[in-house]
Structure 1
């Protein structure tokens, strides 16, 4: 069994409606942006003929499509994303990629500058 990952980044702005009464929450209520790094991991056996779990061109094409929907967009307005949390970004990316790449075993999204990371394993 193999796992193969492809990472990509996107830069986006969003807001978060939070009930928490702290200084950090005040900033997240305003429009602000992040550089996100996402990783899509596929799992499976290597094909006997090709030696690959998946052709990387297939994976990269699926990633390019979802990246186009997120990069330099206001996440609050991305159809199908709902509230732009790390958790929802993971699920959104998975749902966008899984039809073309059913071997997706994990999607993670992180903001390196703040040390936040979320991982979704369907």
Structure 2
């Protein structure tokens, strides 16, 4: 199953001559994919509310922040962001399988926890 999440943030992409080097923002969209055994009594794997609650500290750490100022996100790119989210979320959500991160339609990255 997966649970969609959103957050707004700004970043700079490092690199000489990179036009994205100026501060700019995105409305990031995430899909947090989890894998767990089916609970035969309840009829589902995990409650969406539990997934949202477990993921909330990760989202709050990113929402309305400057991403390239966060340790591990200095590069400012979506691939680094997806990997950071996967590592961070896996600590609180061991059932995490994968994170899809979109900075806008048609542009994104997929990451798996280490």
Instruction: Tell me how far apart the structure 1 counterparts of residues 103 and 52 of structure 2 sit (CA, whole Å).
Output: 21
Deviation at 1:92, TM superposition (A): 1.2
Unpaired stretches in structure 1, ≥5 consecutive residues: none
Residue number in structure 1 paired with 2:92: 100
Instruction: Tell me how far apart the structure 1 counterparts of residues 72 and 42 of structure 2 sit (CA, whole Å).
Output: 35
Instruction: Tell me how far apart the structure 1 counterparts of residues 6 and 112 of structure 2 sit (CA, whole Å).
Output: 19
The RMSD of aligned alpha carbons is 1.7
Deviation at 1:72, TM superposition (A): 0.6
Q: What's the TM-score, normalizing by structure 1?
A: 0.81
Number of equivalences: 113
Q: Is the 8 A contact 2:86 2:112 kept in 1?
A: no
SS where residue 35 of structure 2 aligns? strand
Unpaired stretches in structure 2, ≥5 consecutive residues: none
Q: Deviations over 1:63-105 (max 9, x none)?
A: 2111111111011112343422111111111122112211111
Instruction: Tell me how far apart the structure 1 counterparts of residues 14 and 25 of structure 2 sit (CA, whole Å).
Output: 15
Residue number in structure 2 paired with 1:67: 59
1:116 counterpart = 2:113: no
Q: Deviations over 1:31-75 (max 9, x none)?
A: 111111011001132122332212222210122111111111011
Instruction: Tell me how far apart the structure 2 counterparts of residues 32 and 120 of structure 1 sit (CA, whole Å).
Output: 23
1:29 counterpart = 2:21: yes
